[in-house]
Amino acid sequence: MSPGKNKGLILEIRAGAGGDEAAIFAADLWRMYQRYALSQNWQCAVLDSGQTTIGGLKEITAEINGLDAYEKLKNESGVHRVQRVPKTEKNGRVHTSTASVAILPKIEATEVKINPQDLRIDMARSSGPGGQNVNKRSTAIRITHLPTNIVVFSQTERSQPQNKEIAMEILRAKLYARASQQRMSQLSQERRDQIGTADRSEKIRTYNFSQNRITDHRLGKSWHDLETILNGRLEPIIKAFQKQSS
């Protein structure tokens, strides 16, 4: 079952190896996707995020809706690596940091069967940056899918029902992706080599600032306008994937 043209997506970005610099890179990637979504007239909404004190992102989950949103961004899943001199580096040394990106198609309730008895639902107070309470009522929702131990969290809305709906939407997307990965693992090794695993543990792209170059390792292709692409001009990379698959 392949997502349709109008199907939206759940975007997850998580800082990887590299400490504060990895979190800053995760924020850079979020800004890139956010600006690209704006250029496509897509709707973009943050569902949950964890910020650092210096403007980075430990993680962020967002929902993007619009024509061909999933089709255009599905190849962004994987580990993104950055090589640059961090602003916090006093000796001018180049650091290598990573962030992982997951692009999950939004899934309708009828497409994934979830047994309510398989869920543990916990309520908590929403909290903002630095841990302060956004409100005094317990409106945040954490759902644990017991058979898989997948945990999702939503705190952006002001009511429990709204946050529960968002959390269930994220859970459906994660369960769908998990089932897809299991189907992929059953294919022959030759077939997996041909089409790739779309596993977010794969290092898919390197952003090398000193050489002003972005290299996509799956395509074996580089672009020398790094800042422009990081500012949301993703079209050259997306078109390269479309050309490859046509």
For residues 181 and 209, state if they share a domain: no
Walk across the sheet containing 119-124 and list its strands. 119-124, 140-145, 150-154
For residues 158 and 237, state if they share a domain: no
Q: Is residue 191 part of a domain?
A: no
Coil vs helix vs strand at 56? coil
Share of the chain above pLDDT 70, in %: 83
**CA gap 219, 196 in Å, rounded:** 12
pLDDT digits (tens, 9 = 90+) for 139-177: 788 899 999 998 888 887 778 888 888 888 888 888 888
Three-state SS sequence of 90-144? CCCCCEEEEEEEEEEECCCCCCCCCCHHHEEEEEECCECHHHCECCCCCCEEEEE
Share of the chain above pLDDT 90, in %: 39
For residues 204 and 99, state if they share a domain: yes
* Domain hosting residue 159, numbered range: 116-185
In the structure encoding, which two tokens stand for residue 179, read together? 């089932």
pLDDT at 72: 94
Q: Is residue 3 part of a domain?
A: no
Is the per-residue pLDDT at 191 higher than 60?
no
**Counted domains in the chain:** 2
pLDDT band at 196 (very low <50, low <70, confident <90, very high): very low
- CA angle in degrees (0–180, nearest 5) for 2-60-230: 80
For residues 53 and 126, state if they share a domain: no
pLDDT digits (tens, 9 = 90+) for 5-32: 567 899 999 999 888 899 999 999 999 9
For residues 148 and 222, state if they share a domain: no
